[in-house]
Amino acid sequence: MAMDFFEHQQQARRRTGLLVTLFVAAVLAIIAVTYLAVAGILTTIQHQQSMMRDAISDRPVTPEFGSPMLLAAVGCSVVAVVLCGSLYKLAQLRDGGHVIADALGARLITPDSTDPHEQQLHNVVEEMAIASGMPVPPVYVMDDERGINAFAAGYLPGDAIVCVTHACMTRLTRDELQGVIAHEFSHILNGDMQTNIRLMGVIHGILIIGLIGMALLRSLRHVRVGGRGKDKGGGGILIAMLAIGVALLVIGYVGVFFANLIKAAVSRQREFLADASAVQFTRNPAGIAGALNKIDHSGKGAMIDHPHAAEASHMFFGEALMVGWFGLTATHPPIKARIHRIDPDGLYVQTERARKPERTGSAGNGLAGALRAVSVSDGPPANDVDGASRKAVAHASGSFGQHELPGAVAHASGSSCMRSAMEEVGQVSAEHIGQAAALVASMPAAVRQAAHEPYGAMAVVFGLLLSPVAEVRRKQLDALKQTVESGVYALTFRLVSAMPQRQTPACLALLEMAAGSLRNLTSKQYQAFRAAVLTLIHADDKVELFEWMLQRLVVTQLDRLFLRGPTVSRLRLGLQAPAMTSAASVMLSMTAYAGTTQTAAARSAFDAGNARLVPVKLDLLPLEQCRLPNLDQAMASLEQLTLEGKKKLLSALAATIAADRQVTAMEAELFRGIAAGLDCPVPLMLSGQTLI
């Protein structure tokens, strides 16, 4: 089942539009209920005041229900309160996914953990991240939760986190855990995370009136009213405050109802899509089907007990809360419906009690038999560092949700029809995951271990930046010794000989591992690291293409976290906009000159890419205008490009690189680096794969 990254991103934006529409409807409903409550309270107070007079007027009390001024005042007040509540929550969540993980009591696990379950979990996440071409996200575990569940949170792939419950980490087999993690990565790659965080802000705004009412009622418990003199009117004030508090609480329940409806409307259907993506990514329907089956037959299911679970219930892999209103407010489809879409013939799932090991030599042997067998064993291997690399990537492939899926195996991991890198943007396959595991396993243990912790990750990046030219390297080491701590310098010196060669897949995989660890630096440590990186890059008074790409993949991504914070929204411009056209000209010209030193060949390559941008027409810039500082400025501008513009530009870049029918390793990694800078992660390049 082909999944288009850009289409999914567009669908996520449409869901944001739906979210705004539902938010407006909920606010209007709250305004209506609030108006009725306020009008009723004012009418009651007026009636009580008239009854307390010595001479009761014969003039009846006029109800407030028809007052335009009152309606306007109530409407403005509700809108102001709801917007303030939403903006306050979004400000709290500005730092991304780790804020949500902390709020849910999750614990960050370290890659060097000796716990076999934690080691297995981190390896699965790491393989998926490297395979998909994004930095390895921090991994959290909710130690006190016995329900099987997980979630991913963040704004962009570069600041995502992945969190699982203790039961998810310990009760699932490796294949089942991989299916769950693949489901969460589909939310990362499909643009769902940003919608999820916006939804949290919207929900908080809708609920804020009820929270105010609850706080008011709690404050009244400490109020004492006197019975003499000027305090005689205190009882009326107390009654009025009590009435207001109850009214706000009732309005709050209206908000809760609408909040749950909004979460269900925005979240439910995309879970089917994420399940489909998990099957596509792993080519192993038994993995995610087995995980869902364990949830279905577990006493605890996917339930989350944390008091803040309601705020994030729409983010989880499974239904985190009890569902009322006849399933109307469920944020996820029923488990059985999800299993049936993955496994309509019931070949991959059995009840927990009925599970028995497959007998060797049975008719189920071969690839399909192996698929069923992997779901039988429970618990991780004693040492999972190379677990996935030892396993052949031999999962069945087929159409998701079709009856032919669980039947005879169509292909092994080597797909008979190799998709182009352009088609693989934002996608992952079993081949990519297997290659990622093999790359990690091939790294020297010292390098791999260093990349898994912040100080070591700094040394890894420094080591990759050291020039092969002896004179330049000596200058770089002298500068490094003056700018970083002695321990980091010593580790860099020790690791240099074990570093993979530049412009290789292993080098990029190592950078993605290190980038995840560098997120755990303090702000002060990052500033020092950033300065050292720039010093090493400019030590020879020039910036090579590899150095520029490393800076884009590591420094630029981390700048979002440490310096500017995640970008929530910005004005989007099409390729026709002058700023975008100018930036695209720099990008395409630079790419054309990267593969050749001959102007005629560069012109031919440029024209091949330019043809993909119709009706936009770009001009090839002179070579002297194609310097890396210009490329940096172009990349900064292109962050505002629309999704359709990004798709066209990447297609043009791929056509430019492939114009001479030769794609070097450097050109392939340049394409991946530019795509990552545009928040369009490209998976690892497979042997024989083309760009277009």
Domain of residue 32 covers: 8-94+195-259
Full DSSP string of 178-189: HHHHHHHHHHHH
Both tokens of residue 51? 């009854």
Q: How far apart are CA 228 and CA 554, in angstroms?
A: 72
For 654, the 3-state DSSP assignment is helix
Domain boundary among 534, 564, 594: 564
Residues 134, 676 contacting (CB under 8 angstroms): yes
Tell me how far apart the alpha carbons of residues 428 and 284 are, in angstroms, rounded to a whole number. Answer: 13
pLDDT in tens, 144-170: 999 999 999 988 887 889 999 999 999
**Would you please indicate which residues are annotated as catalytic (active-site) residues?**
184
For the chain, what percentages of helix, strand and coil (3-state, to nearest 5) are there? 60, 0, 35
Contacts for 116 with CB less than 8 Å, ≥ 6 apart: 379, 380, 381, 382, 383, 384
3-class state of residue 303 by DSSP = coil
- State how far the Cα of 527 lies from the Cα of 75, in Å rounded to an integer: 47
User: In terms of domains, do 504 and 648 share one?
Assistant: no
Give a yes or no: residue 211 inside a domain. yes
> Given this model, what pLDDT does residue 387 score?
45
Q: Do 603 and 550 share a structural domain?
A: no
Same domain, 460 and 528: yes
Residue 436, domain member (yes or no): no
Same domain as 84, residue 35? yes
Residues 200 and 245 in one domain: yes
In this structure, are 84 and 215 located in the same domain?
yes
Give pLDDT, residue 177. 95
Same domain, 207 and 64: yes
550 and 482 share one domain: yes
Q: Is residue 142 part of a domain?
A: no
Q: What is the model's pLDDT at position 179?
A: 93
Rounded-to-integer distance, Cα 522 and Cα 599, Å? 47
Strand order in the sheet with 139-142: 107-108, 139-142, 161-165, 150-153
When divided into structural domains, the chain yields a total of 3
Residue 418 included in any domain: no
List Cα–Cα distances, 207 to 21, 200, 250, 267, in angstroms.
17, 11, 11, 19
In a domain, 591, yes or no: yes
Q: What is the mean pLDDT of the chain?
A: 77
Are residues 89 and 221 located together in one domain of the fold? Answer: yes
Domain co-membership, 584 together with 556: no
Same domain, 486 and 609: no
309 lies in a domain?
A: no
Q: Does pLDDT of 623 surpass 50? A: yes
At residue 542, the pLDDT reads 77
- Give the pair of three-digit tokens for residue 265: 């409307």
Supply the Cα-derived Rg of the chain in whole angstroms.
29
Cβ pair 216, 245 in contact under 8 A = yes
Partner residues linked to 75 by β-bridges: none
Residues 211, 85 within the same domain? yes
Q: Mark which of 236, 259, 282 sits at the end of a domain.
A: 259
Is residue 58 included in any domain, yes or no?
yes
Instruction: Give the start-end residues of each E strand in 117-184.
Output: 139-142, 150-153, 161-165
Average pLDDT over residues 290-308: 90
Average pLDDT over residues 40-60: 62
Percent of the chain with pLDDT over 70: 76
pTM of the model: 0.76
Q: Is residue 100 part of a domain?
A: no
Confidence of residue 225 (pLDDT cuts 50, 70, 90): low
Asked if residue 602 lies in contact with residue 620, where contact means CB atoms within 8 angstroms, the answer is: yes
- Last residue of one domain, picked from the residues 233, 259, 285: 259
